Amino acid sequence: MSYCAKSDMIAAFGEEELIQLTDRQFAATVDESVLALAIAAAEAEINIWLAGSYTLPLSSVPAVLTRMACDFTRYILSGDIAEDHAISIRYRDQMKKLQAIASGKASLGLDQAGTQTARVDLVQIAAGRNDFGDRSSW
C-alpha cells in the first residue's frame, strides 16, 4: 500500500511546485515516472524505520505517514538543497518523528478507518550487568 499519491503531493504543495520538481523534459506537466520513483524511495526510507516495530505492509495508512511520505518525497525530488532551506528542515523534523515512532516513544496514531495501528510485540534483549556474581570465588 502506497503511503502517498500524486493527489496527496498536489494537495500538500500545489501542482505548480510538483511540476517544477518533476518536469525534466520541460513539458509543463508532472512527470509521473519521476514522481513514482521519488515516492518509492520515500516509502522505502520510511519502511526501514517501521519494519522492526510494525507488520508491513500496513493494512491502512495513518495520516501521519501520508504527511511524512509527502515531505520525504519532496525532499528527494529537491536534490541538493541547503540544510537551512524549509524543505530540508521539514524533512529533518519528519525524520525525528519517524525515529520516535520506530523507538516506541510515539505512535502512528489513527489510520483512515479511525483505529490505532498496532505495534508488533517484540522481545528486546540488551546487554546488562552480570547477575551471576564473581566467578573467581568458585
For the chain, give every domain's residue range.
6-113
Residue 123's pLDDT is 46
Q: Are 32 and 8 in contact (CB under 8 A)?
A: no
User: What does each of the 138 residues of the chain score in pLDDT, given as a tens digit?
Assistant: 799 999 999 999 999 999 999 999 999 999 999 999 999 999 999 999 999 888 898 888 999 999 999 999 999 999 989 999 999 999 999 999 999 999 989 988 755 555 545 555 444 555 666 555 665 655
Collapsing DSSP to helix, strand or coil, 44 comes out as helix
C-alpha cell at 112: 483512515
The candidate with the shortest Cα–Cα distance to 8, out of 78, 95, 69, is 69
